[in-house]
Structure 1
Amino acid sequence: MIKFGTSGWRAVMGEEFTFQNVRLVVQATANYLKKKFPGTRIAVVVNYDTRFLSERFAFEAAKVLSHNKIHVFLTDRDAPSQAQAYQVIKRKAQGGINFTASFNPPEYNGLKFNTETGAPALPEVTDKIEEEIRFLQKEYSFCPFYPKNEFIEKIDLQADYLAFIQKKVDFDLIRKSKIKIAVDMLYGTSREYLDEILEENEIPVEGLHAYIDPYFGGISPSCSEENLGELKKFVKAKKCHLGIATDGDGDRFGVVDEKGRFVIQNLILSLLLDYVVTKKNWRGGVARSVATTHLVDRIARKYNLPLYKTPVGFKFLSELFLQKKIIFGGEESACIAIKDHLPEKDGIFAGLLVAEMIAA
């Protein structure tokens, strides 16, 4: 049974996550889009992470969409989820399909759908896609050998995203503080994103695991303390002031202090909230998932800020973000929503904001 969870459909490759099931889900998504946007030129941004076969799955999705006469903006390399969300918004696409299982073990892959807002699809959307899946499962067997190339356009996601981030972080402040930063890409999509923007801004940086390994070094690509053991040692060995990690698709973060100690994400969320309120003088609503620290509540009360509590799933924070009800939202799984940013998780931006906070 193909089901969308808190962040898309994820399953073990070769079992439920197969090429035929990918074609099925992509066709169901195409059917949903054609019903939602009748008589409209439909465009979809297709992205993928560094997992085994992710690039092949993305190309298969592009083929299916092209046979539906849907214009496909296909990324020219693996890219962070938030870079795809930016392109959905910039190109006014009707959606985005991303092949990633985020921080799941290497044997998993996944398909995540973002709506025309750039935000992760809410259950009301994925429920409709699941209805299409159930209908198609009765007889669907389409297997296009060739794509319709007139509907497929390769695009670069890196340049636009880094230019966007450049305006969101005070790199001058970080550079003047003379802090040295270690970055652990965990074999994921943040390589040549997180390290590159620091280098371009002349901030001393030391990189770790900035290459593709579909086995993720034998671990799950999540920013847990257990998985950041090498970063903890690396920070101390290189005499860095801060260690920043991002997960497999770059949308979650982990932080290590100058003594090589892991700092739990709940504490980082609370510190960042206090930072944007006290140093940036932001005022507005604050949101957290029900599983996130109540320290967020205490900070909101201290500064008399409206507080919202959501079910688990970043998509619910995104909904409040799009409604302009919040300036800050956080989930204990290392996700933040920030005013004037993107309606998608962004581990790169979160890590850089931590660096800015330390520099301040």
Structure 2
Amino acid sequence: MIQTVATQPFTDQKPGTSGLRKKVRVFQQPHYAENFVQSVFDSLDGYEGQTLVVGGDGRYLNREVIQTVLKMAAANGFGRVLVGKGGILSTPAASHLIRSSGAFGGLILSASHNPGGPDEDFGIKYNIGNGGPAPEKVTDAIAARSLAIDSYKLFDGPDVDIDAIGSSLLGGMTVEVVDPVAGYADLMASLFDFGAIRAMIAGGFTLAFDSMSAVTGPYAVEIFEGRLGAPAGTVMNGTPLPDFGHHHPDPNLVHAKILYDRMMAADAPDFGAASDGDGDRNLIIGRHCYVTPSDSLAVLAANAHLAPGYAAGLKGIARSMPTSGAADRVAEKLGLPLYETPTGWKFFGNLLDAGMATICGEESAGTGSDHVREKDGIWAVLLWLNILAVRQQSVATIMADHWTTYGRNYYARHDYEAIAKDKADALMAALRDKLDSLPGTTNSGGVVKSADDFAYTDPTDQSVSKNQGVRILFTDGSRVVFRLSGTGTEGATLRVYIERYVGPDGELGLETEVALAPLIAAAQEVADIAGYTGMDQPSVIT
């Protein structure tokens, strides 16, 4: 029986760059999750009888909301839902399942790298039929509908057993519980030389992978320990937990410090890596050698041809605007187009669909290719392993060789978290007000060459995205970028990106904080960060 439930709008359901993210307590309000899911369905056309993919990162509230989604999908006319066993699907695996099954789209229940638990974060995002996040025209429609919704549809029936693989009926809709790992692992095996990686590991190569008690545990155990033969225990924190073991599942040097310390120890493994809450981000650390996400993107692009899936070469490289220009140097040397986009994986999707780019990445630890339409943590780790297996060199040696070939982009991101939103907005407004007066002025970073608020015209559909971040560019090629993040659930996060390029013949061995010290001072001088935020130091430096 289909019920029509009366409701009233919530005013805070506008999706961000990665869907709707709020505290669990917000989602637990009566009608809150239902309103948003119905707003998604009401914003779509032509899904009747079609397939929907549903899964998430296993965080607190994941299983309950999946049952709600199943009953609402049945009531709204979907013909079939594919759901990962136990409600588990990493974000890249969900993207692959949408694409491989010919699904109409999918709902991914995740707040990515944000903490989980009853007092922490939850999220829902809609991905379209290409497997990628919904474009702005869809999220705008969802936001508009959420402000006008007055009812939602719900099938009145028992919960579905999502812990047993197989099919069942929910009203007239088929629910198929599928293995969340196998199809994705097969995809990885088709892209990379598992034989070469397996032989490298059998020959004594050691690695450590931290799943951070998040969704990649089952994937990492199957691929690294099962298919590639790494010893049991190679995967750390491999069991997904609803609260991620009370840890913050963000693969950076603060939250993955145990892995970092292990990789800097005298008896460190040859290679260390981590992924985040929903499996789309990555951290790469060689023995005594941390690799920034921006540098990792550049190295992967420069060496991708060593993996079978990319032996034919790349069609292009894409990076988000705040990501360092290291990949630009590679694109130039290889004669490839380089696309600079706003932050948000959906902007890469158009380029990938159009065959204009093959590899893309963001400084926030996301890297991926045209195999899916999301960033993909395990994919990045496997490409690194494939490169190491072919080149038979250490991570440190590969990085040194890269810098002597392309030069080095010294780079850091300073995050100022949980700022009062009015203060953060005031800081950005003040910056925008002074853009016209900055060129030609001098500060600790040098002479300002130009200053603007980044805008992007999509080359595939000519859509325009404005106000994507304030850029201060210096005459020596250095830059400082300011933008507010859209991935938090509390207050605002100011992100300051600081970059200095040094050519192949320059000083390539400086400590990052030393190389960037003048630009860090310039960022404070230009934006008065301390004055607006009350913070003398960033919350996190990556």
TM-score under structure 1 length normalisation:
0.92
User: Over residues 216-272 of structure 1, what are the superposed CA-to-partner deviations in whole Å (9 max), with x where a residue is unaligned?
Assistant: 23332111111111112444487421111110011111112123x432211111111
1:153 is matched with 176
Partner residue of 1:165 out of 170, 184, 188: 188
CA contact (8 A) 2:90 2:278 kept: yes
* Distance in 2 (alpha carbons) for counterparts of 1:202 and 1:91: 27
Q: Distance in 2 between matches of 1:149 and 1:73?
A: 15
Aligned-partner Cα distance in 1 for 2:171–2:271: 46
Select the residue among 105, 119, 143 that pairs with 2:132: 119
Answering whether residue 324 of structure 2 is matched by residue 298 of structure 1, we say no
Deviations 1:53-98 (CA, angstroms, capped at 9, x unpaired):
1111111111111111213222212121111111111221111001
In 1, Cα distance between the equivalents of 2:172 and 2:382?
Answer: 39
Per-residue displacement from partner, 1:29-67 (whole Å, max 9, x unpaired)?
Answer: 22223xx217x4222111111211111111111111111
Tell me how far apart the structure 1 counterparts of residues 252 and 357 of structure 2 sit (CA, whole Å): 27
CA distance in 2, matches of 1:238, 1:153: 46
Match for residue 286 of structure 2 among 249, 252, 257? 257
Judge conservation of contact 1:17–1:110 (CA < 8 Å) in 2: no
Q: Deviations over 1:166-223 (max 9, x none)?
A: 1111111212223222111011111121221122334324121112333323332111
Matched, 1:181 2:204: no
Q: Which amino acid aligns with 1:203?
A: G
SS in 1 for 2:209: strand
Contact 2:181-2:219 within 8 A present in 1 as well = yes
Out of 29, 37, 41, the position equivalent to 1:30 is 41
- Conservation of the 8 A alpha-carbon contact between 2:75 and 2:153: no
The whole-number CA distance in structure 1 between the counterparts of 2:237 and 2:229 is 19
Query: d(CA) in 2 for partners of 1:266 and 1:5?
Result: 23
Query: Structure 1 residue 92 and structure 2 residue 102: aligned?
Result: yes
For 1:8, the equivalent position in structure 2 comes to 19
Distance in 1 (alpha carbons) for counterparts of 2:35 and 2:112: 21
2:362 alignment partner in structure 1: 331
| Off by >6 Å, runs of 4+ in structure 1 | none
C-alpha distance in 1 between matches for 2:290 and 2:250: 13
User: In the alignment, which residue of structure 2 is the partner of 1:343?
Assistant: 373
Q: Distance in 1 between matches of 2:30 and 2:126?
A: 17
Q: Please say if residues 51 and 109 of structure 1, whose CA atoms lie closer than 8 Å, have aligned partners that are also in contact.
A: yes
Give the AA of the match of 2:275. Answer: T
Give percent identity, aligned residues only: 29
Is residue 273 of structure 1 aligned with residue 301 of structure 2? yes
Residue in structure 1 matched with residue 218 of structure 2 by the alignment: 192
Kept in 1: contact 2:250–2:276 (CA 8 A):
yes
The answer to whether the Cα contact below 8 Å between 1:174 and 1:355 also exists between their aligned partners in 2 is yes
Determine the structure 1 residue equivalent to 2:277: 248
- Partner of 2:358, secondary structure, is strand
CA contact (8 A) 1:11 1:108 kept: yes
Change (3 A) 1:18 1:101: farther
2:260 corresponds in structure 1 to 232
Shift of 1:274: 0.9
Aligned residue in 1 for 2:353: 322
CA distance 1:62–1:200, shift in 2 (3 Å): same
| CA offsets 1:314-339 (integer angstroms, 9 cap, x no match) | 11011111111012111111222324
SS of 2:107's equivalent in the other structure is: strand
User: Is this contact kept in 2: 1:245–1:255, CA < 8 A?
Assistant: yes
| Contact in 2 for aligned 1:88/1:116 (Cα 8 Å) | yes
Partners of 1:141 and 1:66 lie apart in 2 by 12
Q: Give the distance between the partners of 1:163 and 1:278, measured in 2 at CA.
A: 19
Deviation at 1:275, TM superposition (A): 0.7
Q: TM-score under structure 2 normalisation? A: 0.62
Amino acid at match of 2:142: I
Of structures 1 and 2, the larger Rg is shown by 2
Moved more, 234-243 or 110-119: 234-243
- Is this contact kept in 2: 1:317–1:337, CA < 8 A? no
Q: Aligned partner of 2:195: which letter?
A: D
Q: Pick from 109, 118, 121: which aligns with 1:108?
A: 121
- Following the alignment from structure 2 to structure 1, what is the Cα–Cα distance between the partners of residues 184 and 131? 13
Report the counterpart of residue 387 of structure 2 in structure 1: 357
Q: Does 1:307 align with 2:307?
A: no
Q: Tell me by how many angstroms 1:145 deviates.
A: 4.6
- Work out whether 1:41 is the aligned partner of 2:54: no
Name the aligned partner's letter for residue 42 of structure 1.
Q
Contact 2:209 2:274 in 1 (8 A): yes
Aligned mate of 2:72, from 57, 64, 67: 64
- Asked if structure 1 preserves the Cα contact closer than 8 Å seen for 2:214 and 2:277, the reply is yes
- Structure 1 distance, partners of 2:277, 2:61, is 14
3-state SS in 1 of match to 2:380: helix
Q: Which runs of 5+ in 1 are unaligned?
A: none
Shift in Å at residue 276 of structure 1?
1.6
Which stretch of the first structure deviates more once superposed, 176-185 or 288-297? 176-185
Give the secondary-structure state (helix, strand or coil) at the position aligned to 1:86.
helix
Q: Is the CA contact (8 Å cut-off) linking 1:104 and 1:221 kept in structure 2?
A: yes
